[in-house]
Amino acid sequence: MAIRPHFAVTPQPTRVLFGSGSLERLAVEASTLGQRALVLTTPGQHDLGRRALALLGPSGAGLHAGARIHVPQATIDEASIALAASGADLLIPVGGGSAIGLAKGLALRTGLPILAVPTTYAGSEMTPVWGVSEGGRKATGRDIRVLPRAVIYDPVLTLAVPTRVLAASGMNAMAHAAEALYATDANPVTDLLAEEAVRLLADSLPAVVDAPDAPDPRAAGLQGAWLAGTVLGQCHMGLHHKLCHVLGGGWDLPHAESHALLLPYVLAFNLPAASAAAERLGRALAVPPEEVPWSLRALHRRLDLPASLAALGLPRDGLDRAAELATTTAYPNPRAVTRAEVLALLERAWHGSD
């Protein structure tokens, strides 16, 4: 049995409240963190934002529904004005990673605490990782000030989220767990969490798609997303996340769908150099370790997500530049990465070939 001979563990102090109907506790949870809260969300989730604001009662300082995917710098500038006008001392993003990303951008500037209410499986609520895009590039970093102080997971809220969104963001969560398993800063606890995250997500995502009104699969997926977000918050990611950031920042490709598509290709490249990770992934997916990439490709097909980088909107002449951007700076990865190998991987994903 492979054990990790050296490791360090730094637990992260986010309070987590999980359960159907737990949004009702929003005002109570908020009162432990601040006096007046600004609710942040994406334009499409305006109604959910208004509901959160109503639940806050007198401690609600306003609603700003200006979050956008990949957190463009301009959206932080706009939200900063709304924040100053509101006088809020607490940020409450409700929605997916875009809403939470905007709150993180504001927290980075102001140091204000965040109470997050996630409605997708992206996992950002459990991490000190921020990301901001500007001029065709996405910068990311880690800062403890952006780690939400509390998270309310209410699975009921995910019933309003389209199944395709949950399927894609569930695969995004699975990518966090998969790369955490071969991270250089993984530890025995993150290994357990990551394996269980993959198991929960692999079991629940087909049911989320097949039975859109059933609450149990959505709750199981949300628990998997919590665990995956937790390991994302503690481990540095590798080639897979690098590629998705490059494609999101450079070509505005949809974040979760890019993760979902690329994961089997990257794991086919990386897992031969990460046998312990392959073993855990195989156990979670109930397949032999060498069949993990194939199994995830089959799951991706089963979820009926966009089948190629071409379908996601990447122009063919972008492949070379993407391979260059993904290999100019060093990052931890179980296998050394050359530009030619990344280009070959991207070519296959562009065509959607097996």
Using alpha carbons only, give the angle 291, 127, 48 rounded to the nearest 5 degrees: 100
State how beta strands 137-142 and 129-134 pair. antiparallel
Q: What is the chain's length?
A: 354
CB 93 within 8 A of CB 116: yes
22 binds ligand NAD (CB under 6 A): no
Q: What span, in angstroms and rounded, lies between the C-alpha atoms of 148 and 16?
A: 10
DSSP 133: E
* Closest distance of CB 43 from ligand NAD, Å: 8
**HSE of 97 in the Cβ direction (CA atoms, 13 Å)?**
27
What are the tokens at 346? 């991207």
* Window 265-304: contact mask with ligand NAD (x via CB under 6 A): ----------------------------------------
Among 34, 60, 66, 97, binds ligand NAD (CB under 6 A): 97
151 binds ligand NAD (CB under 6 A): no
Using alpha carbons only, give the angle 332, 148, 133 rounded to the nearest 5 degrees: 55
44 binds ligand NAD (CB under 6 A): yes
Is the Cβ of residue 115 or residue 165 nearer to ligand NAD in the bound state?
165
Of 222, 105, 233, 244, residue with least CA distance to 170: 222
Judged by CB under 6 A, the chain residues 108 through 147 that form the site for ligand NAD are 119-120, 122-124, 127, 129-131
66 binds ligand NAD (CB under 6 A): no
Of 173, 130, 185, 187, residue with least CA distance to 331: 185
Is the Cβ of residue 165 or residue 319 nearer to ligand NAD in the bound state?
165
Among 42, 59, 190, 327, binds ligand NAD (CB under 6 A): 42
170 binds ligand NAD (CB under 6 A): no
Interface ranges with ligand NAD (CB under 6 A) = 42, 44-45, 48, 69-71, 95-99, 101, 119-120, 122-124, 127, 129-131, 157, 160-161, 165, 169, 172, 232, 255-256
